[in-house]
Amino acid sequence: MDAPTIVAVSRSRSHSFSKRNEMSIRLVAGLGVEGDAHFGATVKHRHAMQRDPHAPNLRQVHLIDAERIDEFGAAGFVVGPGDMGENITVRGAHLLDLPQGTRLHLGREAVIELTGLRKPCSLIDQFQKGLMAVTISKRPDGRALWKAGVMSVVLSGGDVYAGDEIIIRLPDGPHRPLEKV
């Protein structure tokens, strides 16, 4: 089986829904993606800032599986890397199956830790009407499964490029499933 890899890296200086693909992005420990609107130690998500602007930023880096993008395409939507607002599009990592606290080693130096799921919001339907329904399904236990990606914090910074391999390190047990952040 091939190692998980990075398909694309993206960022946006504004709070636009989609992010532009780049050759590389620089991750900064404790802050996120340099030059991205969500860069910072405290929350930068517009809705979350209204609740508590001093809360820690658990959404520094947004990732999504390319397999999810393929799934959206199979359902008739035109979605490419960066279009869902993610900073890093990956293939072969099965992000939604990973537990909270999983560490992903990206490229030569960067390490991020998964903090939770991105909860789909109405902006997804503003991007493409009906897409939000495809980003939500049910888990075997009946709980909602949000397929709009996962969120993380940067533990160790470094440059990240499309084509970089990903090393996945699970946390010591017991494992907790990813929940919304």
Coil, strand or helix at 49: helix
- Kindly state whether residue 177 falls inside one of the protein's structural domains: no
- Kindly state whether residue 56 falls inside one of the protein's structural domains: yes
**pLDDT value of position 12:** 97
**Residue 29: exposure state from Cβ atoms within 10 A (0-12, 13-18, ≥19):** middle
Two tokens, residue 155: 């533990």
Instruction: Check: pTM over 0.75? Answer yes or no.
Output: yes
- Kindly state whether residue 180 falls inside one of the protein's structural domains: no
Average pLDDT of the chain?
Answer: 95
Tell me the pLDDT band of 34, cut-offs 50, 70 and 90. very high
Domain total of the chain: 1
CATH value at residue 101? 2.40.33.20
- Kindly state whether residue 176 falls inside one of the protein's structural domains: no
Q: Where do runs of H (alpha helix) occur along 16-160?
A: 46-51, 66-74, 123-127, 131-134
Is the CB of residue 119 less than 8 Å from the CB of residue 93? Answer: no
- Kindly state whether residue 120 falls inside one of the protein's structural domains: yes
Domain that holds residue 88: 5-169
Average pLDDT in the 23-34 region? Answer: 98
- Kindly state whether residue 175 falls inside one of the protein's structural domains: no
- Kindly state whether residue 81 falls inside one of the protein's structural domains: yes
- Kindly state whether residue 45 falls inside one of the protein's structural domains: yes
Is the CB of residue 125 less than 8 Å from the CB of residue 132? Answer: yes
